[in-house]
Amino acid sequence: MQPFSLDMAVRDYECDLQGVVNNAVYQNYTEHARHEYLKTRGVDFAALTATGVHVVVIRAELDYLRSLRSGDVFRVTVQTERVSRLRMAFTQHITLVNDGVPILNARFVVAAVDAQGRPCFPQELELLL
């Protein structure tokens, strides 16, 4: 399956005093792309949460390869994989749109718990694999 991708641009206020995107902002970019990906797959994250199922990031691995600067246009890709019976991962990459230069490689492992706090793997997540 082709990875989902979303193009975005760096905003001035996301940069630190050195003129580069603050390291924490990359997690905002990847999370936004994951949520947009879920929408395209028919998964309503808010509706799932309203049913008492909470999907949470339990591990985040980010490899920073190059810094983004104000005005850079970049692409965030999203792919999913099953990690175990109760876990899945989102593998994500950020690259510059104009030349494909890699900026970030990331992997987020998620798990879900039901309204009683028990681990579960809802059908909505199965649809992503």
Q: Is 19 left (phi over 0), alpha (psi -120 to 50) or beta?
A: left
Global pTM value: 0.92
Measuring CA to CA, which residue among 128, 88, 126, 84 is closest to residue 107? 88
pLDDT in tens, 101-127: 999 999 999 999 999 999 999 999 998
Distance between first and last Cα of the chain = 10
Q: What is the CATH number of the domain that holds 25?
A: 3.10.129.10
Domains in the chain, number = 1
Please say if 16 is a catalytic residue: yes
Candidates 16, 44, 63, 114; catalytic one: 16
Check if the beta carbon of residue 121 is closer than 8 Å to that of residue 85: yes
Q: Is the pLDDT of residue 1 over 80?
A: no
Domain carrying residue 10: 4-126
Rg (CA), the chain: 16
pLDDT in tens, 29-75: 999 999 999 999 999 888 999 999 999 999 999 999 999 999 999 99
Q: Please report the pLDDT score of residue 45 as a whole number.
A: 85
